[in-house]
Amino acid sequence: MATSIDSHQQSTKLCSRCAVFQLVDTPLDGIFANPENQEQETDLGWEVERAPDVLYQVFDGSDCESCAFFKRILFWWDIEDKPPTISSETTIRLSLHHVFGPDNANGYGLRAIRIKLRHDGQEDIHLDCPVTAVADDDTATLLGLQPPLSHISEETTFIPDRLIEVGPDQLRLVLTEDMVNPDLEIPHYIALTYCWGPEPHASKQLKTTSLNLSQHLQTIPESLLPQVIQDSVALARALSIPFLWVDALCILQDVSTDWDSQCAVMERIYGNAYVTVAAAASLNCEQGYLQKTDRVIIPLNPRPSNNASLVFAVYSPLYKASVGEELVISPWLERGWTFQERITATRLLMFSRRNIHFKCPSFSESMGRDQDTYDADFRMLSRDKLIPNDKLRTYQEWDETISQLNPDRAHFTRETDLLPSVAGLAALFQKQLDDEYLAGLWKNNLHRGLYWTLMGIDEISYEALLQRLESPFPYLAPSWSWASLRRYLWFDMNHPTLIADCRPEYTDLVPAITPRGSTEFGEVSHGALEMMAKVYVGTRRIVYRKVYPPFSSPQDAVRLDGEYFAHIRTDCTVEDFFATSEFPELVAPISFLLIGSTIRRNSDANYFSSRHSDSSLTLGDDHEASFSHASSDSESASAQEWTSEEIEDPANRTAYGLLIHPTGNPDEYYRVGTFLSKPFRSGGLSFFNNLKPRRVRLI
């Protein structure tokens, strides 16, 4: 469908050769009479021959914006997508075509401008540049939002403390405390998630403070807003949504207590928004997201009866990129604060560089593409899994959600913002769990939550780790919290074959967390755990061995007196704990703190093997106890059924816990890694039977 040209949409300057796009002389009667609604292609009579390396140069020689547009397309095709079978000696014939075809929304019509490449009798290469209508206001383009879905938040009375009222000609901040009326529907609002950007961009944007609050309650000068917020105002007007929430304007930026209280309800702010808008294309607040730069606007004149000029937008072939393809290069996805904002939203509208994407917990859809139920980019919060009477599942949902955070990639202006950036999530989960929040973990789930392991290969040395533990600057969290290390991590005890039978092996737990602000969900200045637990003090009898199990990644294991004892995962370079010799003995002051035990419901004989002689000293057979979380559906279906007596028998239970390092104070330790000891040879819970529990303090 075409749109009449007006002062807002000026057509692209075209040279004489690009005028062929305008359909002035194209006979359309036969095309629209197509009875089968099949794709049809019309030749524009534009053809050249060139070598592939200089193909893009056919659009040189003028200041035509259309030529520059198609030159960019061919340039990137040459760099990124050109088949390796095309050599520099090949001659390519390039021609241009209009493509007509069906569309579910608008019927039969012009769908693309096609760049067709032919070479050496091979199959033609098509670079299709999608064509869409240009509305008088781009933001009024049909967004295809879905009807109400069941996952939308059930809260009907929540509204943020402050909202921006978006009038037709004026903006102002409103206090919403007087707007909540049980007899009236809560007004709709857009919540914006975007990147402030580095300095000087971040400091340039208009903010609400205690000094200008009264002024903003009267009016917010639209001309002073950064472009990303101006675009959001335009979007709110186009969608007839009367209110907008933006953190820079709706939180008092100079009042720490207001900041803390708003962080604690961030999940509710984004979870109850009518729609959350993500400025995924904006590198900083001064970059907008509505104005597309990778398109040309072309007047098309198929002899309209009213003599009005019609315009179409022609986009790059990447216009229909999927959300996963686009977000991989988006700084918005890597900004630390946007993690909570995007996964707690119930309806997310993402404006990326080339396309517009809609996502909810049930599916995602990109404009011009089919719906997709696969989370190729990120997983949104599954509120339906937060069931008060199924706390195990809720704990698991927390761990799986935090595992997405990847603090190594999450960029914060202040490093200490890591815990505050998930404060709203923590408040939501606490409401469901009725549990004590401990710097990213939960008191009643510590026997599982403490067993988090680092992923990836970004290791630091033992010396560097100790220095960080002894003199953390800035202090983020205690060493036993995942928030203490900016690394990608995983909670291993959440595996389906392990989680159900996990139980704590410590008693008398006493946590002590000192918050830095007014909320338990924000920054912390100190944290400690005291407990009665069994500790095996490592000696030179412990020897390190790299294990290479078949069809699996290499693993780190240790032997005790020549027999398998445990698998270990360290928070630093593992070899630094051991002597550099043929049989690397433990030389670092490392102890094994028993946290919990479990029993794997799996019939895999290699996991609980009794086929091997305890007297074997062959180092190579440690792989018989190799540690793997992989399990197929068939494996789960044939899971071993244990009797209650067998489940309680220490001889069958796997022991796990923390590798700890003394701080220098009596009975006080840092976490420096994890261990998992299977009931095989010297390993398993039975090993700890003869050890007496003692008081341990973790910081």
Is residue 562 assigned to a domain?
Answer: yes
> Which of 106-115, 193-202, 258-267 is predicted least confidently?
106-115
Instruction: Report pLDDT for 531.
Output: 98
d(Cα 491, Cα 384) in Å, to the nearest integer?
Answer: 21
> Which of 82-91, 542-551, 608-617, 672-681 is predicted least confidently?
608-617
Q: Nearest CA to 178 among 156, 155, 159?
A: 159
Confidence of residue 331 (pLDDT cuts 50, 70, 90): confident
Total number of domains constituting the chain: 3
Question: Do residue 76 and residue 182 come from a single domain?
Answer: no
Is residue 149 assigned to a domain?
Answer: no
Angle, to 10 degrees, between the axis of helix 423-433 and the axis of helix 256-263?
50
The distance between the two most distant Cα atoms of the chain, rounded to a whole number of Å, is 96
Exposure string of 364-384, with b = 16+ CB inside 10 Å and e = fewer, is: bbbbbeeebeeeebbebbebe
Q: Which of 12-16, 26-30, 604-608 has the highest average model confidence (pLDDT)?
A: 12-16
d(Cα 581, Cα 63) in Å, to the nearest integer?
Answer: 69
Provide the mean pLDDT of the chain: 82
Tell me the pTM. Answer: 0.74
Q: What's the mean pLDDT in 346-373?
A: 80
Question: Do residue 235 and residue 376 come from a single domain?
Answer: yes
- Domain end, chosen from 133, 153, 175, is at 133
Question: Do residue 470 and residue 488 come from a single domain?
Answer: yes
Give the E-state strand segments of 516-604 in sequence order: 524-533, 535-537, 542-547, 555-560, 563-570, 591-598
Instruction: Report pLDDT for 313.
Output: 73
Which has more confidence, 292 or 5?
292
d(Cα 450, Cα 377) in Å, to the nearest integer?
Answer: 27
Is residue 359 assigned to a domain?
Answer: yes
Q: Nearest CA to 331 among 353, 314, 306?
A: 353
Confidence of residue 494 (pLDDT cuts 50, 70, 90): confident
Encoding tokens for residue 33?
């009479």
Residue 603 reports pLDDT greater than 50:
no
Q: What is the DSSP code string of 446-512?
A: HHHHT-EEE-SS----HHHHHHHHHS-SS--S-TTSGGGS-S-EEEGGGSTTTGGG-EE--EEEEEE
Q: What's the mean pLDDT in 202-229?
A: 95
Question: Do residue 479 and residue 608 come from a single domain?
Answer: yes
- C-alpha distances (whole Å) from 615 to each of 245, 356, 457, 619 are 68, 64, 35, 12
Residue 81 reports pLDDT greater than 60:
yes
Instruction: Report pLDDT for 307.
Output: 52
Confidence of residue 155 (pLDDT cuts 50, 70, 90): low
Phi, psi angles (nearest 5°) of residue 477: -170, 165
Residue 121 reports pLDDT greater than 90:
no
Confidence of residue 637 (pLDDT cuts 50, 70, 90): very low
Q: Nearest CA to 49 among 151, 118, 123?
A: 118
Return the SS3 of 258. helix
Q: Give the helix ranges, DSSP H, for 594-666.
A: 633-637, 644-648
Residue whose structure tokens are 């190594």: 408
Question: Do residue 332 and residue 210 come from a single domain?
Answer: yes
The C-alpha R_g of the chain, in whole angstroms, comes to 31
Question: Do residue 451 and residue 503 come from a single domain?
Answer: yes
Model confidence over 205-214: pLDDT tens digits?
A: 999 999 999 9
Instruction: Report pLDDT for 503.
Output: 94
Is residue 143 assigned to a domain?
Answer: no
Write out the residue range of the structural domain in which residue 552 sits: 386-698
Is residue 78 assigned to a domain?
Answer: yes
Confidence of residue 42 (pLDDT cuts 50, 70, 90): confident
Confidence of residue 178 (pLDDT cuts 50, 70, 90): confident
Question: Do residue 509 and residue 655 come from a single domain?
Answer: yes
Q: Nearest CA to 697 among 535, 505, 524, 468?
A: 535
Percent of the chain predicted with pLDDT > 70: 79
Q: Which of 127-141, 260-274, 313-327 has the highest average model confidence (pLDDT)?
A: 260-274
The answer to whether the CB of 631 falls within 8 A of the CB of 602 is yes
Phi, psi angles (nearest 5°) of residue 691: -90, 140
Instruction: Report pLDDT for 635.
Output: 35
Model confidence over 427-451: pLDDT tens digits?
A: 999 999 999 999 999 999 999 999 9
Question: Do residue 269 and residue 410 come from a single domain?
Answer: no
Question: Do residue 129 and residue 183 come from a single domain?
Answer: no
Question: Do residue 436 and residue 525 come from a single domain?
Answer: yes
Confidence of residue 410 (pLDDT cuts 50, 70, 90): confident
Question: Do residue 630 and residue 548 come from a single domain?
Answer: yes
Is residue 65 assigned to a domain?
Answer: yes
Residue 34 reports pLDDT greater than 80:
no
> Which of 263-277, 290-304, 397-411, 627-641 is predicted least confidently?
627-641
Instruction: Report pLDDT for 154.
Output: 53
Residue 295 reports pLDDT greater than 80:
no
Question: Do residue 374 and residue 394 come from a single domain?
Answer: no
Is residue 545 assigned to a domain?
Answer: yes
The answer to whether the CB of 534 falls within 8 A of the CB of 656 is no
Confidence of residue 16 (pLDDT cuts 50, 70, 90): confident
Is residue 153 assigned to a domain?
Answer: no
Phi, psi angles (nearest 5°) of residue 258: -70, -40
- Domain end, chosen from 79, 114, 133, is at 133
- Domain end, chosen from 334, 357, 381, is at 381
